[in-house]
Chain A
Amino acid sequence: MKSTLKVTATSAIKLTPKQADLIVEAVEKKNTLGTKVELFQVIDPSVIAGIKITIGSEQIDATTLTKLEKLHTQLRENI
């Protein structure tokens, strides 16, 4: 039995089924092992907007919260 590849998507509001499908599709395209991709959704309003996708120990963080934090550090460095 093939194990599944767990993908966690964190967003502020629930993803529409179409959005969820898009994510699964995108991951499947990259997944060379051919295992089944399983999507877990986490609703966390504190991220404000955007999405954070975690696969194993890899993470792509495109949430507004992280962007604001990045802006904060960069402003502090430059002023």
Chain B
Amino acid sequence: MKKTANIKFNHSISEIISNSDLSSDKQIIGIVKSYGDGVVKVSGLDDVKAGELIDLGNDQFGLALNLEKEETGIVVLGDALHLKAGATVKKTGKILSINVSDSILGRTVDVLGRVLDGRANISVGKQMLLEKKAPGIMPRKSVTQPLHTGLKAIDALVPIGRGQRELIIGDRSTGKTAVALGTILNQTDQDVICVYVCIGQKRSSLAQTIDILTKNNAMDYTVIVAATASVSAAEQFLAPYAGQAIAEYFLEKGKDVLIIFDDLTKHAQAYREISLLLKRPSGREAYPGDVFYLHSRLLERSCKLNDANGGGSITALPIIETQDNDVSAFIPTNVISITDGQIYLESDLFNAGMKPAINVGLSVSRVGGAAQVKATKQVAGTMKLDLAQFRELQAFAQFSSDLDEKTKAQLDRGERVNAILKQGWDAPQKFEEEVVVIYAAVKGYLDLINVDDIQKWEALYLEFIKNSYSHILKSIVTEKKLLDKTEKELIEAIKTFNSMNPEFSLEVEE
């Protein structure tokens, strides 16, 4: 038994050996002049192209970035400690690309497509270029389809459409990644492929992220491109482009893709590091002159294609971390101007228990409104204004104890609408659920509910609607809007629920 297996093994080995290609073709080589700080200076390497992959030996690769008269500056991807002055490196003739096939779903890969999760290699599919020109004007189409995040505050007030680029900006630990992860979780059965690009994050955080996604069965439709804090700056610099290349593979198949860049501040810093080591002239905050182009060429590749081109889309959610709420720093202003709006998270709100800590006044979505479902628009139409008025009144009410009835009523309403926007990031809601909850709040059916009990009220109310009035939810899903008939039924449902659960109500003073 053992012997036959051995013979079989020997046979297959000899077959591979006899089929292997050992021909020696002409190659272009370069001689290493110096190597330090992740940058190799090489002489020779005739006809090298910008952005070409260079074989450094020992299975390590570099990227030719600086082409000069006598020398070529190569940044090392990974580490190349085996290199010595005088060592030879080879041209590969390949422009940086990544192998993508359908089997990449659910996997964690690095910028060159090498697997990091210890499982089998990605099967050979298509080589996708990391640096590719964004789709032109003609194949594009304006954003028409919503991408639901499952978070009421975002879907109602700063709606995101498929093909949009919406920035998530805020200080450290204000829940930026949580918003992005919640959005991935909400894409179950939405036929959206998710790509999560991790740039310069801690390995422990990434492990946690993967764990959350696996537990919620979200890895089935998600790809993770990892360039953690411990990998070279060059890999961190390339990671978003690799993610975008993976997204484009699915875009070509007419799929809707959601890509998250977590985060682009670290990406800009990695590029600054490379640029300074390559001795490129530095500008504001020591960033090189082309740092704007760095992000614009990346985010421009997000798009919504017209039907003649497959009708797919790439929605990008880049994340930017600010220092001390300073959105006017160099990188934040750059990315704000490139994207189609921003979700602004504030640490003060976060500390006050408002989660997600979205500053409704400063957050905008420039194109998502067109893609918002009519039902959501119907219930959330005046919500932004109401909330703005509420905040104004709130500041004003701090100074006066004597308030007229109307102001008091407005304050009460605002408080409840605000409370309804509080939501755990890992508890995304379907849009029809969001509609029935927001409807109850903005139409004043919560005015007599205790503010502290609203979360409890919401959970029970949704349960109640799902069990006894599921046809309301169905009607919203199929009609995409709130019909008069459905609205009447919904009012009736809310009233029934409130009378059934008097424990939530405020005690009415006689």
Contacts and interface: CB of A to CB of B under 8 A. Distances in A.
Contact of A74 (B20, B25, B28, B30): B20
A35 interface: no
B27 A75 contact: no
Interface string A55-68: 01111111000110
Given A71-B17, A74-B16, A75-B17, A57 B24 contact: no
Given A74-B16, A75-B16, A79-B16, A57 B21 contact: no
Contacts of A78: 16
B24 A60 contact: yes
Interface in B1-52: 13, 16-17, 20-22, 24-30, 44-46
Interface string B401-427: 000000000000000000000000000
A71 B22 contact: yes
Contacts of A71: 17, 20, 22
B187 interface: no
Best-buried of A58, A59, A66, A73 by chain B (most CB within 10 Å): A59
Interface in A27-79: 54, 56-62, 66-67, 70-71, 73-75, 78-79
Nearest to B45: A57
B28 A58 contact: yes
A16 to B, nearest CB: 21
Contact of B24 (A54, A56, A62): A62
B29 A59 contact: yes
B99 to A, nearest CB: 12
Contacts of A61: 24, 27
B311 to A, nearest CB: 37
B46 A56 contact: yes
B24 A74 contact: no
B149 interface: no
Interface of B: 13, 16-17, 20-22, 24-30, 44-46, 59, 88
A69 to B, nearest CB: 9
A57 B20 contact: no
Interface of A: 54, 56-62, 66-67, 70-71, 73-75, 78-79
B16 A60 contact: no
Contacts of A60: 24-27
Contacts of B25: 60
Given A61-B27, A67-B24, A70-B20, 9 more contacts: A56-B44, A57-B29, A58-B27, A59-B26, A59-B29, A60-B26, A60-B27, A62-B24, A73-B59
24 contacts: A57-B29, A57-B30, A57-B45, A57-B46, A58-B27, A58-B29, A59-B26, A59-B27, A60-B25, A60-B26, A60-B27, A61-B24, A61-B27, A62-B24, A67-B24, A70-B20, A71-B20, A73-B59, A74-B21, A75-B16, A75-B17, A75-B20, A78-B16, A79-B16
A61 B46 CA distance: 17
A46 to B, nearest CB: 14
B24 A58 contact: no
A33 to B, nearest CB: 15
Contacts of B21: 70, 74
A78 to B, nearest CB: 5
B457 to A, nearest CB: 60
A54 B59 CA distance: 22
Contacts of B30: 57
A79 B121 CA distance: 11
B48 to A, nearest CB: 9
Contacts of A66: 24
A75 B18 CA distance: 11
A15 B370 CA distance: 77
B46 A58 contact: yes
Nearest to B121: A77
B29 A54 contact: yes
Contacts of A70: 20-22
A73 to B, nearest CB: 8
Nearest to B48: A57
Nearest to B24: A62
Contacts of B59: 73
Contacts of A73: 59
B296 to A, nearest CB: 35
Contact of A67 (B22, B29, B44, B45): B22
A57 B44 contact: yes
Contacts of B22: 67, 70-71
Contacts of A75: 13, 16-17, 20
Nearest to B88: A59
Nearest to B25: A60
B16 A58 contact: no
B82 to A, nearest CB: 13
Nearest to A50: B24
A61 B16 CA distance: 22
Contacts of B88: 59
A70 B46 CA distance: 23
Best-buried of A54, A57, A59 by chain B (most CB within 10 Å): A57
A56 B22 CA distance: 23
Contacts of A58: 26-29, 46
A74 B17 CA distance: 9
Contacts of A54: 29
A58 B59 CA distance: 21
The 9 closest A-B pairs by CB, nearest first: A57-B44, A62-B24, A74-B20, A57-B46, A59-B29, A67-B22, A59-B27, A78-B16, A61-B24
